[in-house]
């Protein structure tokens, strides 16, 4: 083996490595697995739905909290 060359990729968790010498060895390297890749069957609809539910619940809980605080002040 004469040398090793590495280079980052557009994915944060992946880089590529080339080892050269008598032969060439090229491989993507992901030390912490590929956490920033989504599978092809990823459901964006479910993600958007969950985010919408979280926003609605946040607004609801904020209103309930204000109402409870006001009721405590009146007691």
pLDDT of residue 21: 92
pLDDT of residue 36: 65
The tens digit of pLDDT for each residue in 31-44 reads 776 666 777 788 99
Low-confidence ranges of the chain (pLDDT < 50): none
Q: What are the domain boundaries of the chain?
A: 1-31, 42-75
pLDDT of residue 41: 85
Cα angle for residues 50, 52, 54 (degrees, 5° grid): 70
- Starting at the edge strand that comes first in sequence, how are the strands of the sheet with 24-29 ordered? 3-8, 15-20, 24-29
């Amino acid at each position: 083996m004469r040398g090793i060359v590495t280079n980052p990729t557009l994915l944060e968790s992946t880089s590529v490595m080339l080892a050269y010498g008598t032969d060439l060895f090229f491989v993507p390297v992901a030390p912490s697995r590929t956490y920033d890749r989504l599978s092809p069957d990823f459901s964006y609809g479910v993600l958007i739905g969950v985010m919408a539910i979280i926003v609605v619940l946040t607004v609801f809980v904020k209103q309930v909290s204000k109402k409870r605080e006001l009721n405590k002040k009146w007691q």
